[in-house]
Chains A and B, each alone.
Chain A
Amino acid sequence: DAKTTQPPSMDCAEGRAANLPCNHSTISGNEYVYWYRQIHSQGPQYIIHGLKNNETNEMASLIITEDRKSSTLILPHATLRDTAVYYCIVRVARAGNNRKLIWGLGTSLAVNP
């Protein structure tokens, strides 16, 4: 029941911006978009999340289209340590304040020197 689609892999040159797209065309109005990354053999690491507005933090920016059917995660200056699998996730609300993250298959980002 994945609600997101992402390209399976991408490449990026070190020092350049990495732009990772995600489609979530069936997202509902109260469902948030989350981004995580997972470096091999480690637990997922939180990057950013948003509902409607664009968001920015020390790691990345999240651009959400006005219709909320897609978003883009931007790593402004990619480094070799940003090589990881990036997951675009929709958080769905359920009865009793019980929320669930629905994970997509992720994009494997390779940052090249």
Chain B
Amino acid sequence: SAVISQKPSRDICQRGTSLTIQCQVDSQVTMMFWYRQQPGQSLTLIATANQGSEATYESGFVIDKFPISRPNLTFSTLTVSNMSPEDSSIYLCSVESGLGYGYTFGSGTRLTVV
């Protein structure tokens, strides 16, 4: 199955600033997924990123707040813009791992906004 490297693993940020999270995969993948996990909650899909096209955002998430880049088949970034304390969450990227392996997840970025 695919191996994902996600950076940073954690950060503490001031409100009003932005943070860019990077996700590097060790193999080429068509779709990459970005999730948010709020404290004590389950995972919620933010958007799906295909290489060469604009990301598709889920209801409740907008590009201005969570811009995504997907420059090639092994890399993607998610930016959390103009942060507020409500953005404090774990952000995870994920890819389809191929037949029989489900979806692989990165180790997550634990974001605290103060």
- In Å, the complex CA distance between A46 and B106 comes to 12
Does chain B have a CB within 8 A of A30? no
B7, chain A: closest CB distance, angstroms? 13
Contact, CB under 8 Å: A46 / B42: no
- In Å, the complex CA distance between A65 and B44 comes to 27
Q: Specify which of B41, B102, B106, B110 is in contact with A41 (CB 8 Å cutoff).
A: B110
> Who on chain B is nearest to A49 by CB?
B102
Contact, CB under 8 Å: B102 / A105: no
> Who on chain A is nearest to B43 by CB?
A103
User: If A98-B48, A101-B103, A103-B44 touch, does A43 touch B97 (CB 8 Å cutoff)?
Assistant: no
Within 8 A of B (CB), among A30-51: 34, 36, 41-46, 48-49
Contact, CB under 8 Å: A103 / B42: yes
Within 8 A of B (CB), among A41-95: 41-46, 48-49, 87
Contact, CB under 8 Å: A105 / B42: yes
Main secondary structure of the interface of B (DSSP, over half): strand
Contact, CB under 8 Å: A46 / B107: no
B28, chain A: closest CB distance, angstroms? 17
- In Å, the complex CA distance between A43 and B102 comes to 14
Chain A: how many interface residues by the 8 Å CB criterion? 19
12 A-B contacts (beta carbon < 8 Å):
A2-B42, A42-B107, A42-B108, A43-B4, A43-B92, A43-B105, A43-B107, A44-B105, A48-B102, A98-B31, A105-B41, A106-B42
A21 partner residues in chain B, CB cutoff 8 A: none
- In Å, the complex CA distance between A44 and B92 comes to 9
Does chain A have a CB within 8 A of B81? no
Contact, CB under 8 Å: A44 / B43: yes
> Who on chain A is nearest to B102 by CB?
A46
- In Å, the complex CA distance between A44 and B107 comes to 8
